[in-house]
Amino acid sequence: MSDHRLPQPDRPWVMRTYAGHSDARRSNELYRKNLAKGQTGLSVAFDLPTQTGYDPDHVLARGEVGKVGVSIAHKGDMHQLLDGIPLDEMNTSMTINATAAWLLGLYVTVAEENGVGRSALKGTTQNDIIKEYLSRGTYAFPPEPSMRLIADMVAFSVNEVPSWNPTNICSYHLQEAGATPVQEIAYALCTGIAVLDEVKARGQVADEDFPRVFGRISFFVNAGIRLIEEIAKLRTMSALWQQIGRERYGVTDEKMLRFRYGVQVNSLGLTEAQPENNIQRIVLEALAVTLSRDARARAIQLPAWNEAMGLPRPWDQQWSLRIQQVLANETDLLEYPDIFDGSRVMDGLVEELTEGARAEMAVVEEHGGAVNAVPYMKARLVESHRERVARIEAGEQKVIGQNSYTETEDSPLTAGADGGILTPDPEVERERVEALAEWKAERDEEAVKAALADLAEAAADDSVNIMPATIAAAKAGATTGEWAQTMRDVFGAYRAPTGVDGASAPSEREQMEKIRRRVDETSEKIGHRIKILVGKPGLDGHSNGAEQVALRARDVGMEVIYQGIRLTPEEIAESAVQEDVDVVGLSILSGSHLELIPEVVRLLREEGLEVPVVVGGIIPVADAERLREAGVAGVYTPKDFDVNRIMGEIVELVGQRAGAGAAA
């Protein structure tokens, strides 16, 4: 047989759909349907309270329960979520980070209570806390104890759950936060090094087993629309990771050195304008992670075409699964060796990216490694994202349907009564709060108290692995919020850097001069510099948009108050009053806008602060109208990509208020 074909076609990658919403029962129904449609692995999306360690009845969980994923408060929920799913056969990926130790504890508990030994379990916990500080915001504890939790999970998994990937270094969200390919490679690999060094330092894995630790580190990457560059990025990451294994950790086993990654392709580039264009974007991005055999993804989940608009329906998720199935079963891409071997273009790109990534990794190392370099990396990502936004605004970077070829027919995909998206049942939160109260009333309270006391003792002793006490608490019936609060009591609270203060001045100032003059004129008119409070109510940690608004407001001459993520409506209103701001800008992408935004408006009015409130996020048209009726002055969604225009409208609102005040 000729060497340009494989003797046998490769097996397809694991095909997943990132799914979960409302409660365990509804999500279990969805999983069973997806598996029946040919999905070959589970990918569990948890709601924000579960991700950040709060029970459904906590004040910060208000409006967030079951919105962006499934609510899991205790082992009873986990039993219901996995009902009828054979855990000894299933490969389960859980997108969970700050509370990963707890969710793995629940998973092990449910398996064992169903007669499946922990050593038989296969799957992945994302469990990358560095990227939470840099991009996604669902952290719960400070960096050092968070890294300890990850290292404890790695040691526990290698020793007791050998087919489990205990951490999934996640460069996906770095690209969503604006990372260039060089930054995505460098920051992800630096995070991998930080985890491995922490595992080594804790000494819970024998030296002869350390290659297995290296071999169980997996990655979760992003693939954007620049197809050739993305393929080169993945080939670069693969080569650099193997080099790190050999040179830094002395790993020689080729199987353990393999760069193992799963992928979700880019959601940042999906548009609300002409959303049907997202399908071809998703297909091209899927090709970026499948075409090169030597750097092919081991598991893939694709976003749905309508994720820039809201929560996908089951049919939308099916469409994305079918894209994978067509690629794997109808094309011939699994039949050949790597088609890029010997390519002058690919070799040149890989060399270019390797050089850039090594230089950036050296800078992170100079800052003391990934944990200490979080403020540096965050500021660089904010800058890169600002440059991307500016290129789109200026038309230098074309986005079809958004800033180029904008003439369009109405889309039949969004013509239905639901607007083309799924709206979770608004009763879910009330149901979950009631169910939690029932769970607590029926469990053995003394057993829970004793288990949580043991957990606190384990957390306080840095030499102890946290997993045995975590599993014991899960088996006793403790809740997500109780586990996390026990950790918070020991580890303390933490607020990550916003990156806004550390970001340098913009290079393109000319396009801002007009708006700067308007800011100056209005500031003179009201007698002080325009002051804007940018806030993120609720648990939504996707702060990229809020950071860009805060940065642009600063760049055009406003005084900016931005305290980062995870604020209650009460905290936002209190801050607005104390700072005596002229306008409040709120960012929310989790679907909790109808619960939280009107509450902020109401509290501001109660305090007598009659300032305009503007909102940005993934907000359906009908909801935008309801927000305006509640007193919101402006609503911005992903189609509003021109940040200077938004700044101009904010200045106009402040000027109108000043005029109305003077007239009164």
- Give the catalytic positions in this structure: 18, 172-173, 536, 540, 542
Coil, strand or helix at 398: coil
**Helices (H), ranges, 395-507:** 428-442, 445-460, 467-476, 480-491
In the structure encoding, which two tokens stand for residue 609, read together? 């602060």
Rounded Cα distance, 276 and 632, in Å: 30
Rounded Cα distance, 154 and 166, in Å: 5
**φ and ψ of 118, to 5 deg:** -60, -30
Rounded Cα distance, 520 and 247, in Å: 56
The burial of 464, by beta-carbon neighbours within 10 Å (0-12 exposed, 13-18 middle, 19 or more buried), is given as middle
Rounded Cα distance, 272 and 407, in Å: 14
Rounded Cα distance, 358 and 114, in Å: 47
DSSP classification of residue 208: G
In the structure encoding, which two tokens stand for residue 260, read together? 């193992």
User: Are the C-beta atoms of residues 156 and 166 closer than 8 Å to each other?
Assistant: yes
Rounded Cα distance, 553 and 308, in Å: 24
Element (H, E) at 263: strand 261-264
Rounded Cα distance, 75 and 476, in Å: 9
18-19 vs 634-636, strand pairing mode: unpaired
Element (H, E) at 387: helix 374-394
- Hunting for tokens 């993305």 — which residue is that? 230
Rounded Cα distance, 441 and 32, in Å: 31
User: Are the C-beta atoms of residues 353 and 185 closer than 8 Å to each other?
Assistant: yes
326-330 long-range contacts (CB < 8 A, ≥24 apart) are: 327/283, 327/286, 327/287, 327/290, 328/12, 328/13, 328/15, 329/12
Angle between helical axes of 181-202 and 344-366 (0-180°, round to 10): 50
- Hunting for tokens 């008119």 — which residue is that? 525
Angle between helical axes of 513-526 and 643-663 (0-180°, round to 10): 20
DSSP classification of residue 537: B
Residue type, 322: R
Coil, strand or helix at 29: helix
Cα–Cα separations (whole angstroms), residue 264 to 56, 65, 219: 28, 24, 11
Residues 6+ apart with CB under 8 A from 159: 204, 205, 209
Rounded Cα distance, 156 and 159, in Å: 5
How many other β-carbons are positioned within 10 Å of the β-carbon of residue 525?
Answer: 13
DSSP classification of residue 606: H
Going by C-alpha positions, the residue among 104, 100, 154, 105 that lies closest to residue 129 is 100
Going by C-alpha positions, the residue among 303, 301, 297 that lies closest to residue 268 is 303
